[in-house]
Amino acid sequence: MTGVTMTGNDQAHVERLAALLRPVDLLDFVTHVCQWLQDAHDAAAELQPVRKNNHRGTWSNNTSFGTDRYEYLLRTAQSLSVDIPGLDADPAFQSVLLKLDHVGVYQFNAPAGPHGSLGDISDLRRELLAPQEDEALIGRRDAWLDGRELLLLPWAGAEDGGLTDAWAGQGTLTDGHISWDWLVRLQDIAAVTTSGQVPWLGSQSGPTLFDQSPPELPLRPRTEQRHGSAG
């Protein structure tokens, strides 16, 4: 058996992700977080006609969609705890860190994909993604994670396409890009588990993590033309 699944994810990397998330079930996490991201795109898209067709005039601009999507994610993140027991959404620094027992999940928009340029990088993102050179210095990253490992969850989406892709992995910032130690595509995890091909996630003496058919992830095909900002 090779180390790469038929859909492209390395088995060892999927194992690493599952280990970081435990005791939360891997597929539960993937499904509910992707649904939350899709809901943010849907809610923000629904607001844009209201912004553009108000009887007093248009009050939208090229960042309106991204702003509304960002506010949705910031204000609703804690609702994930209903479906993911033990999750705590920390909105410190005007961003969202999804905290589990062993890992802090930093989700962010990556319109150029996980290997593309991050563009303008905020001070917080730079601090989170930078290599940890001096462990004696305690910064915002350490205060935010509070001993947890950092898991990155970049995603892509747009007003007319919804959530189109999402990934998870660990890496550091290098010249405006993330140099990944490992990376998995979340849609591929759902595709593999749906087909039942998850031998590396279960013991030989017991059931796998995914005995039931999982719901389809709310990811839509990419469209060539996108509207709205990438907030």
Among 114, 119, 118, CA closest to 151: 114
Asked whether residue 196 carries a pLDDT value surpassing 60, the answer given is: no
Query: What pLDDT does residue 225 have?
Result: 39
Query: What pLDDT does residue 131 have?
Result: 85
What value does the mean pLDDT take over residues 85-114?
A: 94
150, β-bridge pairs: 104
Percentage of the chain surpassing pLDDT 90? 60
Residue bearing the bigger pLDDT, 170 or 219: 170
Asked whether residue 121 carries a pLDDT value surpassing 50, the answer given is: yes
Q: Cα 41–144–120 angle (5° rounding)?
A: 55
Query: What pLDDT does residue 1 have?
Result: 35
Residue bearing the bigger pLDDT, 216 or 3: 216
